[in-house]
Amino acid sequence: MTNGAIMRARLATTFKATAIAMIALLPCAAQAATVPILNGSFEQGTTGRPTGYQNGLTFGQLLTTGPGVNVYSGLQGWTTTTGNRIEVRSDLSSAIDAQSGDYFISLDGGRNSNIQQSVALSTGSYILSFWYSPENTGVATNRINYNFGSLLTGTVTNGTNGATVGAWTQIQVLFNVSTAGSYLLNFAAAGGANRVGGFLDNIQIASVPLPAAGAGLLGGLMAVAGLKRRRRA
């Protein structure tokens, strides 16, 4: 093998190794950063009347005493702006298990209720994610409206993204923030006020970062390619 052939073989090996190493870094660099949401999985207690309005159970009793469900006026971390009747369920209740942790909620505890909290966001792209399950098949009954200030708005009901009774369906919405600031994240029951609605759990917000490692990969490959051209010259 000539010296030129040996050099080309070595460069090809270096090029391949660099590409593999750079690609291995991509998942770490592109991992989304979570934006803090207070009580997004409803694992913290309630506010207002401690024993609620329905079954006389405190939040702490929901996992130990049947029926494992009660109606409260508010939730820690959230402001209840209308209705003030939030149904909190535990895994002890007969519906379904929580998607995350031990508790989940319905915003129809006999009145259609709304919860909201203020979230500070920088400029950039984000994903709002939450899990939804219809309590029954009645589209007019289990509807939940959501919005994030002026950034996004939407509705979920039976059939949304394939949502079915007795199962959790993840809802994900991509949105952009052009002006940094605090925005109100809202969820509101929008069906009949009859204690039969939609279940909600595990609300999260994550930023969508630029794939910084992608720039490193491109730079590394260009450097190796430049070296290869110089060697040939």
Structural domain of 224: 3-31+211-232
**Same-domain check for residues 202 and 141:** yes
**Same-domain check for residues 132 and 25:** no
List the one residue out of 89, 44, 93 whose CA is nearest residue 66: 93
**Same-domain check for residues 184 and 69:** yes
> In this structure, what CATH number is given to the domain that contains residue 192?
2.60.120.260
**Same-domain check for residues 143 and 222:** no
What residues of the chain score a pLDDT lower than 50? 6, 11, 14-29, 212-233
What residue type is assigned to position 220 of the chain? G
The model's pTM: 0.78
**Same-domain check for residues 64 and 92:** yes
Count of residues in the chain: 233
**Same-domain check for residues 169 and 114:** yes
Distance of CA 99 to the CA centre of its chain: 12
Beta bridge partners of 90: 103
**Same-domain check for residues 120 and 50:** yes
Q: What's the pLDDT at 216? A: 46
Cα separation, 197 vs 135, in Å, equals 6
How many structural domains is the chain composed of?
Answer: 2
**Same-domain check for residues 81 and 98:** yes
Residues 6+ apart with CB under 8 A from 219: none
List the one residue out of 38, 25, 10 whose CA is nearest residue 219: 25
**Same-domain check for residues 118 and 216:** no
**Same-domain check for residues 177 and 220:** no
Phi-psi region of 192 (alpha: psi -120 to 50; beta: other; left: phi over 0): beta
Q: Residue 199: how many CB atoms within 10 A of its CB? A: 23
Q: What's the pLDDT at 167? A: 97
Q: What's the pLDDT at 64? A: 96
Q: What's the pLDDT at 94? A: 83
Beta bridge partners of 115: 80, 187
**Same-domain check for residues 44 and 9:** no
**Same-domain check for residues 41 and 153:** yes
Residues 6+ apart with CB under 8 A from 159: 139
